[in-house]
Amino acid sequence: MSKNILSSLKALASFLIFSAVQAATSGAYASSAGQGQSLNITAVATFICFVITTLLITWWAAKRVHSRRDFLVAGGGLKPWQNGMAIAGDFMSAATFLGITGAIYFRGQDAFVLGVGIMVGWPLILMIVAERFRNLGSITFIDVLSNRLEEKPVRVMASCISLCIVIFYMIAQMVGAGTLIQVLFGIDYMWAVLIVGLLMTIYVAFGGMVATTWVQIIKASLLLLGGTYLTYAIMKTTGFSLDSVMTQAAEISPLGERILGTTGWFGGDPVAVATVAMTMAFGVMGLPHILMRFFTVKDAADARQSVFYATSIMGYFYILILIIGLGAVFLLATDPAIFGEDGSLIGGANMVAIHLSRIAGGDIVYGFMAAVCFATILAVVAGLTLSGAATVAHDLYSQVFSDGKLSDEREVYVTRAATISIGVLAICLGLAFEGENVAVTAALALAIGASVNCPIILLALYWKGLTTRGVVWGGYLGLALCVGLIVASPGVMVAALGYEEALFPYTYPTVISMPITFLLVMVISYFDRSGQARADRETFDRQLLESELGADIAKPSGH
């Protein structure tokens, strides 16, 4: 078995590296100023080094996969700092680095609510979720939801929601990868999507959680290194004075001093600010690929430490982003070539950090940051793929269709098959949605996490009155409401469908859909008088002890 895995991995790796080199060297490289120039060797070399290193790690990890827990959660043997780095790696994405930096450049500190919202979510996870999750679950967050409820209907409902989140998030990443690499490497869109899809499939199908974790650790380290250098370059130009960074940004920006305060990005509407902040803060608590990471460490103490490490790393990273966004305002003004004839920045908001890297460090730093952005997308889609494969193989095939009787070897086989299927689907979706607004699909994923998963998880952990019927019907209705409001939002009706005005005024529906989902689940559960409802309520005390004291509290038969 291991020889077959090794030979397959070598063949796929050889094909992939050959494809990457061929694609990278076949076309002319488009510079940020829109003028042709020779291929950036630093970008290509950095990317190929990243690919070779991560493939070697995958080969090493593949030899250590002997059971479903080894494959899906690294056998619960990751150290807290490793898990914390990997969690941070999931969130320190290209969208975060490029998107928030560009938003600060154009919109000022109003845009920082995106980062602050996410940072608020992590202490909440640390205090109310991490320990209980590790004590109650084994592989996915759906294990926790079905702990004291009727397993099959809960697993089916939660799996539908989980797969929706994974697919929507993956579309955003794959389309973003194709578009970004078109600009940064000069590679054709199709090649970029194929490379990302093939690489993520190799990482997950062969190396499982161990390989995925190390891909995310390496990517997070590279992104922190690049962000730290850009911050150092900015601070050096101002004599290491943060006050000077803000002063110069206010002098150069068309917004003036408003760039340091409120710029009216949200139209002065506090509800708009609240719904964005709620989506970011509570969306973290509902993302399946993040929740899965609580089961990759040995106990609840390590789960708490993992969240602490992740929060610390991301806190540092978001400070870097704020300085980079403000510093770009006055440093980019020194290079007229990056602006078009109409005065707009070439490439738009997502190219702010990339333009800055060229100004701050020349072609070498530019090439390095371009390659890191590609690596960042690879790491995120690998985590999403593993989460989706775990949902299909563990929650649906093993626990629902096979009544929990599937052998370890068979479940690993099914998970690998699911990984390959998800990889093919991701490539197809990436190609099919070329040119679409990825912000809409990303918003949908986070909004579903915040509006549906978060209420169900909190009620499952803390409310004795929760019943299977309440979770199932409340979950489905909450999902329909969330998707419906996003379809009626400006992001879809105006930006995608071309209507002059949207039926729902906010891109993120969380301020409406999250409270309603809470209410739906609680009301349906309250009026549920079935025999299953009585059993659900009676097992709460047992679950409470288990969640507080750990897995050595015996579970009643049937759970």
**Higher-pLDDT residue of 455, 354:** 455
Question: Are 245 and 325 in contact, with CB atoms under 8 Å apart?
Answer: no
pLDDT tens digits, 369-415: 888 887 888 888 888 999 999 999 999 998 888 888 888 888 888 99
The whole-number pLDDT of residue 440 equals 65
Which residue bears the tokens 């602006």?
339
Q: Which of 222, 223, 213 minimizes the C-alpha distance to 86?
A: 213
Q: How confident is the model over 271-298, as pLDDT tens digits?
A: 888 888 899 889 988 999 889 999 999 9
User: No. of H helices and E strands in the chain?
Assistant: 23, 2
| Integer Rg of the chain from CA | 23
pLDDT of residue 1: 47
Residue 220 tokens read as 């997070």
Alpha helices by DSSP H, listed for 63-150, are 68-73, 80-91, 94, 101-107, 113-128, 130-136, 141-145
To which residue do tokens 């940020």 refer? 32
What is the model's pTM? 0.86
Per residue in 83-92, pLDDT (tens digit) is 999 999 888 8
Q: Is pLDDT above 80 for 104?
A: yes
Residue with token string 């992001």: 491
Higher pLDDT, 384 or 187: 384
Owner of token pair 């379809």: 487
Q: What DSSP character marks residue 29? A: E
Give the β-pairing of 36-37 and 29-30: antiparallel
Indicate the residue type of 350.
Answer: N
Look up residue 112 and give its two tokens: 């920082």
Do 311 and 122 contact (CB within 8 A), yes or no?
Answer: yes
The C-alpha angle 117, 155, 447, rounded to 5 degrees, equals 20
Question: What are φ and ψ of residue 285, in 5° steps?
Answer: -70, -10
Nearest to 101 by CA among 192, 230, 217: 230
Q: Which two tokens stand for residue 260?
A: 């340091």
**Closest C-alpha to 351, from 91, 337, 81:** 337
- Cα diameter, the chain: 72
Q: Do residues 532 and 152 touch, judged by C-beta distance below 8 A? A: no
**Tens of pLDDT, residues 118-142:** 888 888 888 888 888 888 877 888 9
Q: What does the pLDDT read at residue 22? A: 45
pLDDT digits (tens, 9 = 90+) for 332-382: 988 888 888 888 888 777 788 888 998 998 888 888 888 888 788 888 888
Q: How crowded is residue 538: how many other Cβ atoms within 10 Å of its Cβ?
A: 12
Q: Alpha-carbon distance 230 to 98, whole Å?
A: 13
Pairwise CA distance, residues 293 & 307, whole Å: 10
CB atoms within 10 A of CB 131: 20
Task: Pick one of 3.65.10.10, 2.160.10.10, 1.20.1730.10, 3.40.640.10 as the CATH number of 2-549.
Answer: 1.20.1730.10
Share of the chain above pLDDT 90, in %: 37
Domain ranges of the chain: 2-549
Q: Which residue type, as a one-letter code, is found at position 264?
A: G
Overall size of the chain counted in residues: 559
Residue with tokens 């190390």: 214
| 273, 113 contact by CB (below 8 A) | yes
Task: Give the containing element (helix H, strand E) for 423.
Answer: helix 408-432
